[in-house]
A and B are shown apart, each in its own frame.
Chain A
Amino acid sequence: MVNWLAANYGSIAIWAGALCTFGIYTILYKENKFYRFFEHIFIGVYGGYGVYITWHNIILPKWWRPMTSEGLWWWIFAAVLGSMFYFMYSKKHAWISRVIFGLFMGFAAGGIFREFYEGYFPQIGSSMKPFSGSYSNILSVAVFYVVLLAAMSYFFFSFEHKHPAVKNTAAAGRWFLMIGFGAMFGATVMGRMTLFIGRLNFLINRWIPEVRAEAQSSLFWIIMPAVVLIVSTIGYFVFRKSQKLEA
Protein backbone atom coordinates (compact mmCIF):
# COMPACT_ATOMS: atom_id res chain seq x y z
CA MET A 1 0.00 0.00 0.00
CA VAL A 2 2.76 2.42 1.05
CA ASN A 3 4.74 1.55 -2.05
CA TRP A 4 1.67 2.07 -4.24
CA LEU A 5 1.07 5.49 -2.61
CA ALA A 6 4.71 6.48 -3.11
CA ALA A 7 4.68 5.32 -6.75
CA ASN A 8 1.44 7.16 -7.57
CA TYR A 9 2.03 10.25 -5.43
CA GLY A 10 1.87 12.65 -8.41
CA SER A 11 -1.42 11.29 -9.75
CA ILE A 12 -3.01 11.19 -6.28
CA ALA A 13 -2.02 14.83 -5.66
CA ILE A 14 -3.55 15.94 -8.97
CA TRP A 15 -6.78 13.99 -8.40
CA ALA A 16 -7.06 15.28 -4.81
CA GLY A 17 -6.48 18.84 -6.08
CA ALA A 18 -9.18 18.47 -8.74
CA LEU A 19 -11.66 16.92 -6.31
CA CYS A 20 -11.08 19.69 -3.73
CA THR A 21 -11.41 22.38 -6.43
CA PHE A 22 -14.77 21.00 -7.60
CA GLY A 23 -15.91 20.55 -3.99
CA ILE A 24 -15.07 24.13 -3.03
CA TYR A 25 -16.60 25.59 -6.22
CA THR A 26 -19.96 23.95 -5.49
CA ILE A 27 -20.54 27.02 -3.27
CA LEU A 28 -21.11 28.97 -6.51
CA TYR A 29 -24.31 26.98 -7.02
CA LYS A 30 -25.47 27.34 -3.44
CA GLU A 31 -24.42 26.65 0.16
CA ASN A 32 -24.07 22.89 0.59
CA LYS A 33 -22.44 20.14 2.63
CA PHE A 34 -19.92 19.24 -0.05
CA TYR A 35 -18.45 22.71 0.25
CA ARG A 36 -18.41 22.55 4.06
CA PHE A 37 -16.74 19.14 3.97
CA PHE A 38 -13.89 20.35 1.75
CA GLU A 39 -13.59 23.59 3.72
CA HIS A 40 -13.09 21.58 6.91
CA ILE A 41 -10.55 19.34 5.18
CA PHE A 42 -8.58 22.44 4.17
CA ILE A 43 -8.66 23.94 7.67
CA GLY A 44 -7.66 20.62 9.25
CA VAL A 45 -4.80 19.97 6.83
CA TYR A 46 -3.54 23.54 7.14
CA GLY A 47 -3.62 23.38 10.95
CA GLY A 48 -1.79 20.04 11.09
CA TYR A 49 0.79 21.11 8.54
CA GLY A 50 1.31 24.35 10.48
CA VAL A 51 2.07 22.51 13.71
CA TYR A 52 4.59 20.23 11.98
CA ILE A 53 6.40 23.00 10.07
CA THR A 54 6.50 25.33 13.09
CA TRP A 55 8.06 22.59 15.19
CA HIS A 56 10.43 21.36 12.48
CA ASN A 57 11.56 24.73 11.08
CA ILE A 58 11.33 27.06 14.08
CA ILE A 59 11.03 25.54 17.53
CA LEU A 60 13.35 22.55 17.06
CA PRO A 61 16.38 24.28 15.45
CA LYS A 62 16.05 27.68 17.14
CA TRP A 63 14.88 26.83 20.63
CA TRP A 64 14.89 23.15 21.59
CA ARG A 65 18.28 22.08 20.12
CA PRO A 66 20.24 25.16 21.31
CA MET A 67 18.75 24.69 24.79
CA THR A 68 19.23 20.91 25.09
CA SER A 69 22.32 20.20 22.96
CA GLU A 70 24.32 23.43 22.66
CA GLY A 71 24.34 24.46 26.32
CA LEU A 72 22.20 27.57 25.82
CA TRP A 73 20.06 26.68 28.86
CA TRP A 74 18.81 30.23 29.33
CA TRP A 75 16.47 29.75 26.35
CA ILE A 76 14.15 28.11 28.93
CA PHE A 77 13.13 31.66 29.90
CA ALA A 78 11.59 32.07 26.43
CA ALA A 79 9.17 29.27 27.36
CA VAL A 80 8.38 31.03 30.65
CA LEU A 81 7.66 34.31 28.85
CA GLY A 82 5.70 32.56 26.09
CA SER A 83 3.54 30.62 28.55
CA MET A 84 2.55 33.92 30.19
CA PHE A 85 0.20 34.54 27.24
CA TYR A 86 -1.96 31.56 28.25
CA PHE A 87 -2.88 33.10 31.61
CA MET A 88 -5.43 35.18 29.68
CA TYR A 89 -7.74 32.15 30.04
CA SER A 90 -7.65 32.40 33.84
CA LYS A 91 -9.78 35.09 35.46
CA LYS A 92 -7.69 35.03 38.61
CA HIS A 93 -4.27 35.21 36.96
CA ALA A 94 -5.10 37.19 33.79
CA TRP A 95 -2.84 40.01 35.05
CA ILE A 96 0.20 37.82 34.22
CA SER A 97 -0.79 37.76 30.54
CA ARG A 98 -1.25 41.54 30.57
CA VAL A 99 2.42 41.95 31.52
CA ILE A 100 3.62 40.16 28.38
CA PHE A 101 0.91 41.74 26.19
CA GLY A 102 2.01 45.16 27.48
CA LEU A 103 5.60 44.36 26.60
CA PHE A 104 4.68 43.44 23.04
CA MET A 105 2.40 46.46 22.65
CA GLY A 106 5.32 48.62 23.72
CA PHE A 107 7.53 47.05 21.05
CA ALA A 108 4.83 47.52 18.42
CA ALA A 109 4.13 51.12 19.39
CA GLY A 110 7.83 51.94 19.20
CA GLY A 111 8.07 50.27 15.81
CA ILE A 112 5.15 52.25 14.42
CA PHE A 113 7.13 55.50 14.79
CA ARG A 114 9.88 54.12 12.65
CA GLU A 115 7.52 52.56 10.11
CA PHE A 116 5.68 55.87 9.78
CA TYR A 117 8.87 57.89 9.46
CA GLU A 118 10.54 55.61 6.90
CA GLY A 119 7.27 54.88 5.08
CA TYR A 120 5.66 58.28 4.66
CA PHE A 121 8.26 61.02 5.09
CA PRO A 122 10.01 60.24 1.77
CA GLN A 123 6.62 60.45 0.05
CA ILE A 124 5.97 63.91 1.50
CA GLY A 125 9.38 64.92 0.14
CA SER A 126 8.70 63.42 -3.28
CA SER A 127 5.40 65.34 -3.48
CA MET A 128 7.40 68.58 -3.87
CA LYS A 129 8.09 68.16 -7.57
CA PRO A 130 9.88 70.88 -9.56
CA PHE A 131 8.36 72.36 -12.74
CA SER A 132 11.30 71.48 -14.95
CA GLY A 133 12.33 69.32 -17.88
CA SER A 134 10.26 68.64 -20.98
CA TYR A 135 6.81 70.08 -21.62
CA SER A 136 5.23 66.67 -20.98
CA ASN A 137 6.98 66.50 -17.60
CA ILE A 138 5.80 70.00 -16.66
CA LEU A 139 2.25 69.03 -17.66
CA SER A 140 2.54 65.81 -15.64
CA VAL A 141 3.72 67.76 -12.56
CA ALA A 142 0.86 70.29 -13.01
CA VAL A 143 -1.72 67.46 -13.14
CA PHE A 144 -0.08 65.93 -10.05
CA TYR A 145 -0.41 69.19 -8.06
CA VAL A 146 -4.02 69.79 -9.15
CA VAL A 147 -5.05 66.27 -8.08
CA LEU A 148 -3.00 66.43 -4.84
CA LEU A 149 -4.46 69.77 -3.73
CA ALA A 150 -8.00 68.82 -4.75
CA ALA A 151 -7.86 65.50 -2.89
CA MET A 152 -6.34 67.19 0.19
CA SER A 153 -9.02 69.90 0.20
CA TYR A 154 -11.72 67.19 0.29
CA PHE A 155 -10.26 65.96 3.59
CA PHE A 156 -10.05 69.45 5.07
CA PHE A 157 -12.70 69.37 7.79
CA SER A 158 -11.63 72.32 9.99
CA PHE A 159 -14.33 74.58 8.56
CA GLU A 160 -17.39 74.17 6.36
CA HIS A 161 -16.77 74.16 2.58
CA LYS A 162 -18.85 77.31 1.90
CA HIS A 163 -16.54 79.38 -0.29
CA PRO A 164 -17.03 78.38 -3.95
CA ALA A 165 -13.27 77.94 -4.49
CA VAL A 166 -12.98 75.47 -1.60
CA LYS A 167 -16.31 73.82 -2.34
CA ASN A 168 -15.56 73.22 -6.02
CA THR A 169 -11.99 72.09 -5.34
CA ALA A 170 -13.24 69.60 -2.74
CA ALA A 171 -15.90 68.37 -5.21
CA ALA A 172 -13.18 67.87 -7.83
CA GLY A 173 -11.14 66.06 -5.16
CA ARG A 174 -14.04 63.70 -4.58
CA TRP A 175 -14.15 62.93 -8.31
CA PHE A 176 -10.42 62.27 -8.40
CA LEU A 177 -10.78 59.94 -5.42
CA MET A 178 -13.61 58.10 -7.17
CA ILE A 179 -11.45 57.65 -10.26
CA GLY A 180 -8.67 56.30 -8.02
CA PHE A 181 -11.07 53.88 -6.31
CA GLY A 182 -12.35 52.82 -9.73
CA ALA A 183 -8.80 51.99 -10.82
CA MET A 184 -8.27 50.04 -7.60
CA PHE A 185 -11.51 48.13 -8.12
CA GLY A 186 -10.47 47.34 -11.70
CA ALA A 187 -7.25 45.87 -10.31
CA THR A 188 -9.32 43.88 -7.79
CA VAL A 189 -11.42 42.36 -10.58
CA MET A 190 -8.21 41.50 -12.44
CA GLY A 191 -6.80 39.83 -9.32
CA ARG A 192 -9.93 37.79 -8.62
CA MET A 193 -10.10 36.63 -12.23
CA THR A 194 -6.45 35.58 -12.07
CA LEU A 195 -7.16 33.40 -9.04
CA PHE A 196 -9.94 31.64 -10.94
CA ILE A 197 -7.64 31.34 -13.98
CA GLY A 198 -5.11 29.59 -11.74
CA ARG A 199 -7.59 26.89 -10.78
CA LEU A 200 -8.93 26.52 -14.34
CA ASN A 201 -5.37 26.25 -15.63
CA PHE A 202 -4.74 23.45 -13.14
CA LEU A 203 -7.88 21.59 -14.23
CA ILE A 204 -7.31 22.08 -17.97
CA ASN A 205 -3.56 21.66 -18.23
CA ARG A 206 -2.79 19.23 -15.41
CA TRP A 207 -5.87 17.31 -14.40
CA ILE A 208 -7.36 16.66 -17.88
CA PRO A 209 -4.03 15.34 -19.28
CA GLU A 210 -3.83 13.10 -16.19
CA VAL A 211 -7.36 11.80 -16.88
CA ARG A 212 -6.42 11.18 -20.54
CA ALA A 213 -3.30 9.27 -19.51
CA GLU A 214 -5.19 7.13 -17.02
CA ALA A 215 -8.04 6.50 -19.47
CA GLN A 216 -5.68 4.09 -21.26
CA SER A 217 -6.02 1.67 -18.35
CA SER A 218 -9.02 -0.71 -18.17
CA LEU A 219 -9.11 -0.32 -14.36
CA PHE A 220 -9.94 3.37 -14.88
CA TRP A 221 -13.15 2.47 -16.76
CA ILE A 222 -14.22 0.21 -13.89
CA ILE A 223 -13.46 2.63 -11.06
CA MET A 224 -14.52 5.93 -12.65
CA PRO A 225 -18.20 5.10 -13.40
CA ALA A 226 -18.54 3.77 -9.84
CA VAL A 227 -17.01 6.97 -8.38
CA VAL A 228 -19.19 9.20 -10.59
CA LEU A 229 -22.30 7.24 -9.57
CA ILE A 230 -21.48 7.48 -5.84
CA VAL A 231 -20.63 11.21 -5.99
CA SER A 232 -23.76 11.99 -8.08
CA THR A 233 -25.99 10.07 -5.67
CA ILE A 234 -24.51 11.85 -2.63
CA GLY A 235 -24.76 15.19 -4.48
CA TYR A 236 -28.40 14.55 -5.39
CA PHE A 237 -29.38 13.84 -1.78
CA VAL A 238 -27.31 16.73 -0.38
CA PHE A 239 -28.89 19.29 -2.73
CA ARG A 240 -32.36 17.74 -2.47
CA LYS A 241 -32.20 17.96 1.32
CA SER A 242 -31.07 21.59 1.24
CA GLN A 243 -33.89 22.43 -1.21
CA LYS A 244 -36.42 20.80 1.13
CA LEU A 245 -35.04 22.80 4.06
CA GLU A 246 -35.32 26.03 2.07
CA ALA A 247 -38.91 25.18 1.12
Chain B
Amino acid sequence: MRFLIRLQNIDRRILYVLVAIVLSVPLIIRPAKHPETVFPEVRKTYDTIDAVKPDNIVLLSVSWGAGTQAENDPQMQALMRHMFANNTKFVVMSWSLVGSELSYQSGMHVQADVNKQRSREGKPLLEYGKDWAHVGYKTGSISAIVSGLGENFQQVMKQDRNGTPLTELAATRNIKNYRDIGAVVDLTSVGLMGYWIAYLTTPKHIPLIYCPTAVMSATAYPYLDSGQLSGMLNGVMGAVQYETLVGQADVATDASASSWALSAAHIYIILLIVLGNLGYLVARKTGDRSGGSKLG
Protein backbone atom coordinates (compact mmCIF):
# COMPACT_ATOMS: atom_id res chain seq x y z
CA MET B 1 0.00 0.00 0.00
CA ARG B 2 2.78 2.43 0.93
CA PHE B 3 4.45 1.64 -2.37
CA LEU B 4 1.33 2.61 -4.34
CA ILE B 5 0.96 5.85 -2.36
CA ARG B 6 4.60 6.73 -2.98
CA LEU B 7 4.06 6.33 -6.73
CA GLN B 8 2.33 9.73 -6.68
CA ASN B 9 5.56 11.36 -5.55
CA ILE B 10 8.05 10.03 -8.11
CA ASP B 11 10.64 12.67 -8.97
CA ARG B 12 9.92 13.90 -12.49
CA ARG B 13 13.59 13.43 -13.44
CA ILE B 14 13.27 9.69 -12.87
CA LEU B 15 10.24 9.71 -15.18
CA TYR B 16 12.26 11.57 -17.84
CA VAL B 17 15.06 8.99 -17.69
CA LEU B 18 12.50 6.18 -17.97
CA VAL B 19 10.89 7.90 -20.98
CA ALA B 20 14.30 8.14 -22.64
CA ILE B 21 14.97 4.43 -22.02
CA VAL B 22 11.53 3.36 -23.27
CA LEU B 23 11.91 5.46 -26.44
CA SER B 24 15.51 4.40 -27.08
CA VAL B 25 14.87 0.65 -27.34
CA PRO B 26 12.84 0.74 -30.64
CA LEU B 27 15.24 3.36 -32.03
CA ILE B 28 18.21 1.03 -31.39
CA ILE B 29 16.43 -2.08 -32.74
CA ARG B 30 14.88 -0.13 -35.67
CA PRO B 31 12.04 -2.51 -36.58
CA ALA B 32 11.14 -2.49 -40.26
CA LYS B 33 7.53 -3.53 -39.79
CA HIS B 34 5.06 -0.77 -40.66
CA PRO B 35 1.44 -0.57 -39.46
CA GLU B 36 -1.02 -2.56 -41.55
CA THR B 37 -3.90 -0.23 -40.73
CA VAL B 38 -4.04 2.84 -42.96
CA PHE B 39 -6.42 5.64 -41.97
CA PRO B 40 -8.93 6.82 -44.63
CA GLU B 41 -7.41 10.32 -44.74
CA VAL B 42 -3.98 8.81 -45.51
CA ARG B 43 -5.48 6.66 -48.27
CA LYS B 44 -7.20 9.76 -49.68
CA THR B 45 -3.84 11.56 -49.72
CA TYR B 46 -2.31 8.72 -51.70
CA ASP B 47 -5.20 8.70 -54.18
CA THR B 48 -5.02 12.49 -54.58
CA ILE B 49 -1.30 12.40 -55.44
CA ASP B 50 -1.94 9.47 -57.78
CA ALA B 51 -4.61 11.47 -59.62
CA VAL B 52 -2.34 14.46 -60.41
CA LYS B 53 -2.08 14.83 -64.19
CA PRO B 54 1.37 14.25 -65.75
CA ASP B 55 1.71 17.87 -66.95
CA ASN B 56 0.73 19.34 -63.57
CA ILE B 57 2.94 19.92 -60.56
CA VAL B 58 2.39 19.39 -56.85
CA LEU B 59 3.23 22.40 -54.70
CA LEU B 60 4.75 21.53 -51.31
CA SER B 61 4.39 24.34 -48.79
CA VAL B 62 6.89 23.94 -45.95
CA SER B 63 6.24 25.90 -42.77
CA TRP B 64 8.07 23.69 -40.30
CA GLY B 65 11.55 24.00 -38.88
CA ALA B 66 14.03 22.07 -36.76
CA GLY B 67 11.58 22.00 -33.85
CA THR B 68 9.11 19.69 -35.58
CA GLN B 69 11.47 18.02 -38.04
CA ALA B 70 10.80 14.65 -36.41
CA GLU B 71 7.12 14.88 -37.42
CA ASN B 72 7.05 16.84 -40.66
CA ASP B 73 10.19 15.55 -42.35
CA PRO B 74 9.04 11.89 -42.58
CA GLN B 75 5.72 13.13 -44.04
CA MET B 76 7.52 15.11 -46.71
CA GLN B 77 9.97 12.33 -47.55
CA ALA B 78 7.17 9.77 -47.94
CA LEU B 79 5.28 12.12 -50.27
CA MET B 80 8.43 12.83 -52.29
CA ARG B 81 9.06 9.10 -52.76
CA HIS B 82 5.54 8.69 -54.09
CA MET B 83 5.89 11.59 -56.52
CA PHE B 84 9.31 10.41 -57.73
CA ALA B 85 7.83 6.94 -58.31
CA ASN B 86 4.94 8.46 -60.31
CA ASN B 87 7.23 10.87 -62.22
CA THR B 88 5.08 13.69 -60.85
CA LYS B 89 7.02 16.96 -60.79
CA PHE B 90 6.90 19.00 -57.60
CA VAL B 91 7.99 22.39 -56.33
CA VAL B 92 8.92 23.04 -52.69
CA MET B 93 8.46 26.48 -51.15
CA SER B 94 9.24 27.39 -47.55
CA TRP B 95 7.79 29.91 -45.13
CA SER B 96 10.40 28.94 -42.57
CA LEU B 97 14.06 30.00 -42.63
CA VAL B 98 15.38 26.71 -41.27
CA GLY B 99 12.69 24.69 -43.02
CA SER B 100 13.95 25.97 -46.36
CA GLU B 101 17.37 24.39 -45.82
CA LEU B 102 16.04 21.22 -44.17
CA SER B 103 13.46 20.56 -46.87
CA TYR B 104 16.10 21.00 -49.59
CA GLN B 105 18.44 18.56 -47.84
CA SER B 106 15.56 16.08 -47.45
CA GLY B 107 14.71 16.37 -51.14
CA MET B 108 18.33 15.71 -52.12
CA HIS B 109 18.49 12.78 -49.68
CA VAL B 110 15.33 11.14 -51.07
CA GLN B 111 16.50 11.81 -54.64
CA ALA B 112 19.86 10.10 -53.92
CA ASP B 113 18.11 7.17 -52.24
CA VAL B 114 15.63 6.67 -55.11
CA ASN B 115 18.44 7.07 -57.65
CA LYS B 116 20.33 4.13 -56.09
CA GLN B 117 17.36 1.89 -56.83
CA ARG B 118 16.82 3.41 -60.29
CA SER B 119 20.46 2.85 -61.10
CA ARG B 120 20.12 -0.84 -60.22
CA GLU B 121 16.99 -1.09 -62.38
CA GLY B 122 18.60 0.78 -65.29
CA LYS B 123 16.04 3.58 -65.19
CA PRO B 124 16.95 7.25 -65.91
CA LEU B 125 18.18 9.05 -62.79
CA LEU B 126 16.27 11.85 -61.11
CA GLU B 127 17.70 15.36 -61.28
CA TYR B 128 17.13 18.54 -59.34
CA GLY B 129 15.65 21.14 -61.68
CA LYS B 130 14.25 18.53 -64.04
CA ASP B 131 12.10 16.42 -61.72
CA TRP B 132 11.66 18.85 -58.86
CA ALA B 133 12.63 22.33 -57.75
CA HIS B 134 12.95 24.30 -54.54
CA VAL B 135 12.04 27.98 -54.67
CA GLY B 136 13.47 28.72 -51.22
CA TYR B 137 12.27 30.89 -48.38
CA LYS B 138 9.32 33.23 -48.84
CA THR B 139 8.22 35.97 -46.49
CA GLY B 140 5.75 38.83 -46.55
CA SER B 141 1.99 38.83 -46.85
CA ILE B 142 1.02 35.14 -47.04
CA SER B 143 -2.40 35.89 -48.51
CA ALA B 144 -0.83 37.98 -51.29
CA ILE B 145 1.76 35.32 -52.15
CA VAL B 146 -0.75 32.44 -52.08
CA SER B 147 -3.26 34.36 -54.14
CA GLY B 148 -0.58 35.70 -56.51
CA LEU B 149 1.08 32.39 -57.32
CA GLY B 150 -2.28 31.10 -58.50
CA GLU B 151 -2.53 33.97 -60.97
CA ASN B 152 1.09 34.30 -62.12
CA PHE B 153 3.40 31.64 -60.72
CA GLN B 154 6.54 32.83 -62.54
CA GLN B 155 6.13 36.45 -61.48
CA VAL B 156 5.65 35.60 -57.80
CA MET B 157 8.34 32.91 -57.50
CA LYS B 158 10.85 34.26 -60.08
CA GLN B 159 13.84 32.01 -59.18
CA ASP B 160 14.77 28.89 -57.27
CA ARG B 161 16.79 28.84 -54.04
CA ASN B 162 20.07 28.87 -55.98
CA GLY B 163 19.10 31.98 -57.95
CA THR B 164 18.31 30.15 -61.21
CA PRO B 165 15.29 31.68 -63.03
CA LEU B 166 12.34 29.27 -62.99
CA THR B 167 12.04 29.63 -66.77
CA GLU B 168 15.40 27.83 -67.07
CA LEU B 169 14.34 24.79 -65.02
CA ALA B 170 12.50 21.99 -66.80
CA ALA B 171 10.37 21.28 -63.70
CA THR B 172 9.01 24.83 -63.49
CA ARG B 173 9.32 26.22 -67.02
CA ASN B 174 5.72 25.54 -68.00
CA ILE B 175 3.97 26.52 -64.78
CA LYS B 176 1.91 29.59 -65.50
CA ASN B 177 -0.93 29.70 -62.99
CA TYR B 178 -3.31 27.61 -60.87
CA ARG B 179 -4.30 25.47 -63.87
CA ASP B 180 -0.82 23.90 -63.77
CA ILE B 181 -1.02 23.02 -60.07
CA GLY B 182 -2.46 19.52 -59.54
CA ALA B 183 -2.40 19.58 -55.74
CA VAL B 184 -1.09 21.64 -52.84
CA VAL B 185 0.47 19.97 -49.78
CA ASP B 186 0.68 22.03 -46.61
CA LEU B 187 3.45 20.56 -44.42
CA THR B 188 3.14 22.64 -41.33
CA SER B 189 3.71 23.20 -37.66
CA VAL B 190 2.07 26.63 -37.60
CA GLY B 191 -1.21 26.24 -39.51
CA LEU B 192 -1.32 28.02 -42.86
CA MET B 193 -4.19 25.86 -44.07
CA GLY B 194 -6.66 28.75 -43.78
CA TYR B 195 -4.71 30.84 -46.30
CA TRP B 196 -4.53 28.03 -48.86
CA ILE B 197 -8.24 27.32 -48.47
CA ALA B 198 -9.27 30.97 -48.68
CA TYR B 199 -7.00 32.18 -51.47
CA LEU B 200 -6.19 29.25 -53.72
CA THR B 201 -7.42 25.71 -53.24
CA THR B 202 -11.16 26.19 -52.55
CA PRO B 203 -11.76 29.06 -55.05
CA LYS B 204 -9.72 27.34 -57.80
CA HIS B 205 -10.85 23.77 -56.96
CA ILE B 206 -7.32 22.47 -56.32
CA PRO B 207 -6.99 19.50 -53.92
CA LEU B 208 -5.32 20.47 -50.64
CA ILE B 209 -3.47 17.90 -48.54
CA TYR B 210 -2.75 18.78 -44.94
CA CYS B 211 0.30 17.41 -43.14
CA PRO B 212 0.31 18.94 -39.67
CA THR B 213 2.00 17.95 -36.44
CA ALA B 214 -0.09 15.60 -34.31
CA VAL B 215 -1.03 18.47 -31.95
CA MET B 216 -2.83 20.29 -34.77
CA SER B 217 -4.51 17.37 -36.46
CA ALA B 218 -7.69 17.18 -34.35
CA THR B 219 -8.92 20.57 -35.59
CA ALA B 220 -8.56 19.50 -39.24
CA TYR B 221 -11.22 16.78 -39.28
CA PRO B 222 -14.15 19.17 -39.97
CA TYR B 223 -12.24 20.36 -43.06
CA LEU B 224 -11.81 16.77 -44.22
CA ASP B 225 -15.50 16.15 -43.67
CA SER B 226 -16.47 19.19 -45.73
CA GLY B 227 -14.11 18.27 -48.58
CA GLN B 228 -11.95 21.37 -48.15
CA LEU B 229 -9.09 18.99 -47.46
CA SER B 230 -8.49 16.09 -49.83
CA GLY B 231 -6.32 14.16 -47.38
CA MET B 232 -4.23 14.40 -44.25
CA LEU B 233 -1.11 12.84 -42.74
CA ASN B 234 -1.44 13.05 -38.97
CA GLY B 235 2.08 13.59 -37.59
CA VAL B 236 4.60 10.79 -37.84
CA MET B 237 1.85 8.14 -37.68
CA GLY B 238 0.42 9.51 -40.91
CA ALA B 239 3.92 9.41 -42.43
CA VAL B 240 4.55 5.79 -41.47
CA GLN B 241 1.14 4.75 -42.87
CA TYR B 242 1.97 6.57 -46.10
CA GLU B 243 5.27 4.68 -46.27
CA THR B 244 3.23 1.46 -46.14
CA LEU B 245 1.30 2.66 -49.20
CA VAL B 246 4.40 3.66 -51.16
CA GLY B 247 5.93 0.20 -50.87
CA GLN B 248 8.19 0.69 -47.87
CA ALA B 249 6.25 -1.60 -45.56
CA ASP B 250 9.30 -3.81 -44.92
CA VAL B 251 12.02 -1.14 -44.98
CA ALA B 252 13.49 0.08 -41.69
CA THR B 253 13.04 3.87 -41.79
CA ASP B 254 13.19 6.66 -39.23
CA ALA B 255 9.39 6.88 -39.39
CA SER B 256 8.89 3.16 -38.68
CA ALA B 257 11.30 3.28 -35.72
CA SER B 258 9.53 6.43 -34.48
CA SER B 259 6.11 4.78 -34.72
CA TRP B 260 7.30 1.85 -32.60
CA ALA B 261 8.90 4.21 -30.10
CA LEU B 262 5.66 6.19 -30.00
CA SER B 263 3.62 3.05 -29.26
CA ALA B 264 6.06 2.14 -26.46
CA ALA B 265 5.75 5.67 -25.06
CA HIS B 266 1.95 5.49 -25.12
CA ILE B 267 1.97 2.19 -23.18
CA TYR B 268 4.40 3.74 -20.69
CA ILE B 269 2.20 6.82 -20.20
CA ILE B 270 -0.97 4.73 -19.79
CA LEU B 271 0.87 2.62 -17.20
CA LEU B 272 1.91 5.75 -15.29
CA ILE B 273 -1.65 7.13 -15.39
CA VAL B 274 -3.02 3.82 -14.04
CA LEU B 275 -0.37 3.59 -11.29
CA GLY B 276 -0.78 7.26 -10.33
CA ASN B 277 -4.55 6.87 -10.03
CA LEU B 278 -4.21 3.62 -8.09
CA GLY B 279 -1.94 5.45 -5.66
CA TYR B 280 -4.45 8.30 -5.41
CA LEU B 281 -7.36 5.92 -4.69
CA VAL B 282 -5.37 3.98 -2.10
CA ALA B 283 -4.23 7.20 -0.43
CA ARG B 284 -7.79 8.48 -0.29
CA LYS B 285 -9.02 5.21 1.19
CA THR B 286 -6.37 5.14 3.89
CA GLY B 287 -6.64 8.87 4.59
CA ASP B 288 -3.01 9.44 3.64
CA ARG B 289 -2.51 13.01 2.42
CA SER B 290 1.13 12.69 1.38
CA GLY B 291 0.24 12.28 -2.31
CA GLY B 292 0.38 14.91 -5.01
CA SER B 293 2.71 16.09 -7.67
CA LYS B 294 6.33 16.83 -6.89
CA LEU B 295 7.80 19.61 -8.97
CA GLY B 296 11.29 19.97 -7.49
- Complex partner residue of B199 from A28, A62, A114, A199, CB under 8 angstroms: A114
Residues of A within 8 A of B161 (CB): 57
CB atoms of B214 and A122 under 8 A apart: no
Q: Which chain A residues lie closer than 8 Å to B37 at the CB level?
A: none
A193 to B100, CA, bound (A): 24
Q: A28-B16, A61-B163, A201-B70 are in contact. Are A196 and B23 (CB under 8 A)?
A: yes
Q: Fill in one digit per residue for B255-279: 1 if any A CB lies within 8 Å of its CB, else 0.
A: 0011001100110010000000000
- Chain B 157-171 residues near chain A, CB threshold 8 A: 158-159, 161, 163
Cβ-defined partner of A123 (8 Å) among B68, B226, B257: B226
Of the residues B70, B197, B214, B223, contact of A199 by C-beta under 8 Å:
B70
Q: Does B213 contact A (CB under 8 A)?
A: yes
- Bound complex: CA of A71 vs CA of B254, how far in Å? 50
Q: Are B70 and A195 neighbours in the complex by a CB distance under 8 Å?
A: yes
Scan residues 1-40 of chain A and give those whose CB is less than 8 A from a CB of chain B. Answer: 28-29
Q: Which of B24, B97, B100, B197 contacts A204 (CB 8 A)?
A: B24
Minimum C-beta distance from A128 to chain B (A): 11
Q: Is the CB of B70 within 8 A of A29?
A: no
Given A107-B141, A114-B198, A191-B215 in contact, is the A126-B27 Cβ separation under 8 Å? no
Contact of B194 with A by CB under 8 A: yes
Whole-angstrom distance between the Cβ of B111 and the nearest chain A Cβ: 18
**Assembly CA distance A61 to B138 (angstroms):** 12
A115 to B193 alpha-carbon distance, docked (Å) = 10
Q: Are B225 and A118 in contact (CB under 8 A)?
A: no
Asked if A194 contacts B236 (CB within 8 A), the reply is yes
**A-side contacts of B197, CB under 8 Å:** 115, 118-119
Near B by CB (< 8 A), chain A positions 43-78 give: 46, 49-50, 53-54, 57-58, 61-62
Inter-chain contact B227/A122, CB cutoff 8 Å:
yes
Q: A191 touching B194 by the CB < 8 A rule? A: no
Question: How far, in whole Å, are A134 and B220 apart by their CA atoms in the complex?
Answer: 26
Decide if A111 touches B97 in the complex (CB within 8 Å). Answer: no
How far apart sit A194 and B214, CA to CA, in the bound complex (Å)? Answer: 9
How many Å lie between the Cα of A245 and that of B165 in the bound state? 59
Cβ of A133 under 8 Å from chain B: no
Alpha-carbon distance A214/B40, docked complex (angstroms): 46
CA A62 to CA B145, docked complex, whole Å: 13
The answer, yes or no, to whether B2 is at the interface (CB within 8 Å) is: no
Contact (Cβ within 8 A) A29 B27: no
Q: Is B207 an interface residue (CB 8 A)?
A: no
Taking the complex as formed, is B69 at the interface, i.e. its CB lies under 8 A from any CB of chain A?
yes
Interface presence of A219 (CB below 8 A):
no
| Residue pair A115, B195 in contact (C-beta under 8 Å) | yes
A selection of 29 A-B contacts at a CB cut-off of 8 Å is A28-B16, A61-B163, A115-B143, A115-B195, A115-B198, A119-B198, A122-B228, A123-B225, A126-B225, A184-B219, A187-B214, A187-B217, A190-B214, A190-B266, A191-B71, A191-B213, A191-B214, A193-B261, A193-B262, A194-B70, A194-B71, A194-B213, A195-B71, A197-B258, A197-B265, A198-B69, A200-B23, A201-B27, A205-B27
Interface residues of A (CB under 8 A from B): 28-29, 46, 49-50, 53-54, 57-58, 61-62, 107, 111, 114-115, 117-119, 122-123, 125-126, 180, 183-184, 187-201, 204-205
- Top-8 shortest CB links A-B: A198-B70, A126-B226, A191-B214, A191-B215, A118-B198, A115-B198, A184-B218, A190-B214
